Amino acid sequence: MFMKIQRKLLVVFMFSVFALSACQGEEDPKPAAAVTANAGADKRIQLGETVTLDGSASRDSQGTLLAYQWSIVTKPANSIPVLSATNIATPVLAVDLDGVYELELAVSNEHGTHKDKVAITVEYTPVILSNITAKTVLEDRTANPHLADYWVNEDIGVDAELIVKPGVVIGFAEDAAMFVNSDGSISAKGEPNRTITFTGKSNRAGFWRGIMVYSSKSVNEFFHAEIINAGSSVMISSVKAGITVTEGAKLSIKNSHIDWSGGYGVYYMEGSIITGFQSNTISNNSEAPLLMTADHAAKVDGASSLSNGNGRNAVEVVTSFLTGNSEVTWQALADNTTYRFVGTIVAQTGLKLSPGVTIEIAPDNHFEIGDGYLNAVGTAAKKITITGVDKTASSWKGIIIYSASNLNIMDNVDISYAANDVLVSGIKASIVVSHTGKLMVKNSTISHSGGYGIFVNGAEVTVNSDAATANSFIDNAMEAIHYLL
């Protein structure tokens, strides 16, 4: 029995040795390879900065090379972010709006694919501007047109070249102003779809003070620009305005908007120089769109929109002399905008009024033709109108002509509500021709005069002999024409 047991144990031992030897002859099994994506740590950046993504910590447990694929999973509405590449470990991300951007990294090889995400939070703070003392270029820092790129927290002086690029938005603190001084200049040249905006930090009419230009540099311009919510308080001469151009200063304004001023849209002071004014919209200002002298009025183009929601939809012309060596032309203005004389205007050069022009004259003021002439030739369809601001009988003084020019012509002109006071020789009349003055007047209407229609003052005065029959005289206080020879 014992021997049998020994034999059985020997067999079992030998089988175990054989089995162990067989196992030692085979390779040990390797663990399965693992691919792990690592998109890097979440980051915060300022708008305007770029960020380098980092997937280089991604691994394959056996060291096998990985293929990278980045994609943008979420982004702010309307944002158009740009990745420098999508198939490398460390691409650069450029963003255009503030907010959260989530990106996903997928890494893969023959062992499989794994994904990870990273969040980039883009914060935005406008740059605060201070006095411009060296050449400065302001770039558009955000594609969001509702966010300011720059803030002006107190009055700022421009004493060097300032270039404002398309799309820039500058927000001004309450009652803050910009002064473009004699050594400085401003070029704000936007584009049709990327306007430049100067506005208040609060969207409230008349919030900040405005822009005053002292500079005589020819580069001063606003092109496809917006000046909004200015005119909070007086800049100069008791006048509030979005833009004020001082004596000797130069400025061009084209394809621009000046809106919601607490005063005028633009104030051109006597002696300021308009180097361009074209296709502008000046609307919803508390006072008139423009305040200027007679010399400036010829620079206003007929295509600009000046009669939408202003306190007074008129180009206001202050007491001034129209001077020069050649004829100037005032164009008929769009949307029935009038020229409004808020003082007496004296023409010392030739003035031509285009068909359709309307002039309104404030009470107790008059229009004087001195060394120049008045050539007002309308048409039956587009008459020229010279009337009072107040549409009541005899609200303004009238027109007095001293000039002996043969170019003094009124044809298809309506003159109304004049002769509220004496112009010469104790006489009230809508039109006075005096001294050696000359006038051809026909196809015109003179109405609601507080005195005569026409007063011919002196034997040396020349008025066409058929003036009484070639024109219409309606509701005047006295006879159509009175001669004092």
3-state secondary structure at position 56: coil
How many Cβ atoms from other residues are within 10 Å of residue 209's Cβ? 28
DSSP character at residue 192: T
Residue 29 vs residues 26, 109, 110: alpha-carbon distances, Å: 9, 21, 19
Q: Where does residue 62 fall: left (phi above 0), alpha (psi -120 to 50 degrees), or beta otherwise?
A: alpha
pTM for this prediction: 0.83
CA–CA gap between residue 227 and residue 84 (Å, rounded):
37
Spatial neighbors of 416 by CB under 8 A, at least 6 apart, are: 385, 386, 387, 388, 391, 430, 445, 446, 447, 448
What are 482's two structure tokens? 């009175």
Interval 277-301: pLDDT, tens: 999 999 999 999 999 999 999 999 9
CATH H-level, domain 35-123: superfamily: Immunoglobulins (2.60.40.10)
Q: Are 215 and 245 in contact (CB under 8 A)?
A: no
The pLDDT value given to residue 318: 98
* Backbone dihedral angles phi then psi of residue 297, each to the nearest 5 degrees: -60, -30
The pLDDT value given to residue 19: 44
**Regions of the chain where pLDDT drops below 70:** 1-31
Q: Are 378 and 384 in contact (CB under 8 A)?
A: yes
Interval 12-60: pLDDT, tens: 444 444 444 444 445 555 557 799 999 999 999 988 889 999 999 999 9
The DSSP H or E segment spanning 94 is: strand 92-94
CA–CA gap between residue 80 and residue 278 (Å, rounded):
34
The pLDDT value given to residue 23: 45
The pLDDT value given to residue 31: 59
The pLDDT value given to residue 9: 40
